[in-house]
Chains A and B, each alone.
Chain A
Amino acid sequence: MFLSDLTGQAKFFNTAQRWQVGVAASAGPSPAVAVLITILSSTMRVFAGLGLATIVSVSLGVAIRYVRLVEHLTLPTITLLAPVSPVAWLPVAIFIFGIGNGPAIFMVFVALFFHMILATITQIDGVNRNYINVARTMGAGKWQIYRRVILPAILPGLLVVLRFNLFGAWMVVLIAEATGVGFGLGQVIMMARNTFNPSLVFFTIVIIGLLGFGFDFLLRLVQRRILYWLPNRAAGLVDV
């Protein structure tokens, strides 16, 4: 009942929001396009951050498990920084990247990187020793074991981690945008707050919720595609 009420409200406040976002985007596009631009730019930041964090943390995680030196050089720092809230990185993000897409992407990256790298290491440690031993008795080298055994073996776990981190990314991107990226869903929420506009807040919340749900759904489809070898139940994908 709250939701049906909300859609009515959202429609009503649509214009105001579109208009304001249109101004913020400075190019002066039509209101509908402005909403799209806002959504797209937030989404782009989420995925840029998520993608970067995934690539860097998986490769570094593997390097840590494969090369002792890398482990000694990086792991203490990583475990030290892991518990630091991403919000604490906000000033750093602005020092380094100023205002724009940079800090938002950086924030998403920082928020996810530490979790993902620790998760990657745990996943690698959890690979069934038999798989590795079988490959070794068949004459597989280190690189072959990594590419042909470890990578496919950790993929299911990694995708679950990725899914959880997708939500995390959405949370962080709003914080980053709220503090002056220029425009984005987070900025809209802050503006709604400052102008005492609760309906706009809820409207944006619904948009974010729908986006999060939609991308989670897509990711689940991808997961099912990539993890064709798992029976549906084992992957924990059914009706989540």
Chain B
Amino acid sequence: MSEPAISCRGVGKIWAAGTERAHEALRGIDLKVDAGEFIVVLGPSGCGKSTLLYLIAGLEEPSAGEIMAHGVPVTGPAPDRSLIFQETSLFPWLSVWQNVSFGLSLRGTGKAEQREVARQVLFRTGLAETFDKRPHELSGGMRQRVAVARALAMRPKVLLMDEPFAALDVQTRAKMQGFLLDVWHESGASVIFVTHHIDEAMALADRVVVSTARPGRIKQIVGIDRPRPRDPFATEAVALRRKLTELLSAEVDRAFAEQENVAMA
């Protein structure tokens, strides 16, 4: 198990390179994610955090550097790296179980087996009663849980999550974090979770990767070695929250200043 689940070396991304709209989203990202590790990438909005996930997922190619998944270079999307989006991405024309088994159906798995796998996954994620429902009949939180279940059905080794709970209210979000931790424990997958929410990072992460404003670089990596579920009001938590807040707000200020400069120019 010495092989890291994901390793990024000098990864950079320039969008629309070579045109006048070119802008640099990421620069010089070096990151190793161990198998079963929970990484939270924390940074201001628009700092290229999502870009990093897209690159790791293989949906986009890096402009510089190299990404390896379990020692193999990433050249495209693969089912063992599942991406979960902020907005609901369930297919509205499929029922919940068909959504969950969508990946299997692409491989030509038989209908009966698809149903069986979907039933198991939904049962494990506490969603058994939604089996025959349609996405529009579910609440926002439930939909995101189904999205997680759909990712799990592919038995991913790495779960990539792009602010998956950002659209949910605070109470639902807290519940979802608990749900995610359970899922993560059980599946043994690595998680790379992107957020701009400090409390979320503190509740979830083994290591918090604080990224800078655009272009996104790694500013600091903060390890959190406390058992979960974590009390957000514990003494250590206050110090940690202060540290992360300071790191992040410096970058938010920088991002603001940059935007104002752009607006002036």
List the interface of chain A (C-beta within 8 A of B): 128, 130-131, 133-140, 144, 148-149, 152-153, 155, 229-231, 234
Name B's A-contacting residues (CB within 8 A): 54, 57-59, 77-79, 81-83, 85, 87, 89, 91-94, 102-103, 105-107, 134, 136, 150, 154
Assuming the contacts A139-B107, A152-B91, A152-B93, asked whether A134 and B57 have C-beta atoms less than 8 A apart, the reply is: no
Query: What B residues does A135 contact at CB under 8 A?
Result: 102, 106
A130 and B87 in contact, given A138-B106, A152-B93, A229-B134 (Cβ under 8 angstroms): yes
Shortest Cβ distance from B87 into chain A, in angstroms?
A: 6
B residues less than 8 Å from A155 (CB atoms): 93
Closest to A141 in B: B106
Distance A135 CA – B59 CA, assembled complex (angstroms)? 11
Among A128, A134, A149, A230: residue with most chain B CB under 10 A: A134
Which of B54, B92, B103 interacts with A138 by CB under 8 Å? B103
Using A128-B89, A229-B136 as known contacts, say yes or no to A134 and B106 having CB atoms under 8 A apart.
Answer: no
Tell me the complex Cα distance, A155–B222, Å: 48
| A133 touching B103, Cβ below 8 Å | no
Q: List 19 A-B contacts (CB under 8 A).
A: A130-B87, A131-B89, A131-B91, A133-B57, A134-B83, A134-B89, A134-B91, A134-B102, A134-B150, A137-B77, A138-B77, A138-B79, A138-B102, A138-B106, A139-B103, A139-B107, A144-B106, A153-B93, A229-B136
Task: Name A137's contact: one of B57, B91, B93 (CB within 8 Å).
Answer: B57
Q: Would you call A130 and B85 a contact (CB within 8 A)?
A: yes
Given the complex of chains A and B, what is the CA–CA distance between A155 and B93 in angstroms? 10
Residues in chain B near residue A130, CB distance under 8 A: 85, 87, 89
In the complex the two chains form, what is the Cα distance from A148 to B105 in whole Å? Answer: 10
Q: Are B154 and A138 in contact (CB under 8 A)?
A: yes
Q: Let me know if B87 and A140 touch, CB within 8 A.
A: no
| Chain A residue nearest in CB terms to B147 | A134
Given contact pairs A131-B89, A149-B91, A137 touches B83 in the complex (Cβ within 8 A): yes
Q: Verify A229–B83 contact, CB threshold 8 A.
A: no
Decide: A231 and B136 in contact? CB cutoff 8 A. yes
Distance between Cα atoms of A170 and B77 in the complex (Å): 48
Chain B: which residue is nearest A151 at the CB level? B93
Nearest chain A CB to B104's CB is how many angstroms away?
A: 9
Please indicate the chain B residues that have their CB under 8 angstroms from the CB of A230 in the complex.
Answer: 92, 136
Complex formed: what's the CA distance from A224 to B56 in Å?
40
- Among A137, A140, A148, the most chain B Cβ lie within 10 Å of the Cβ of A137
- A-B pairs, top 9 by smallest CB distance, nearest first, are A138-B103, A130-B89, A152-B93, A229-B93, A137-B77, A136-B77, A139-B79, A130-B85, A137-B83
> Known contacts A130-B85, A152-B91, A229-B92; is A136 also within 8 Å of B106 by CB?
no
Contact B89 A137 (CB under 8 A): no
The complex places the Cα of A134 from the Cα of B91 at a distance, in Å, of 10
Query: Closest CB-CB distance, A28 to chain B, in whole Å?
Result: 52
Rounded to whole Å, the gap between the CB of A141 and the closest CB of chain B is: 8
B85 proximity list for chain A (CB < 8 A): 130, 133-134
Measured CB to CB, the nearest residue on chain A to B76 is A136
**Distance from B156 Cβ to chain A, minimum over Cβ atoms (Å):** 9
State A234–B134 Cα separation when bound (angstroms): 14
A136-B77, A138-B103, A155-B93 given; name 16 further pairs at CB < 8 Å. Answer: A131-B89, A133-B57, A133-B83, A134-B89, A134-B102, A135-B102, A136-B59, A137-B58, A137-B82, A137-B83, A139-B107, A148-B102, A148-B105, A149-B91, A152-B91, A229-B93
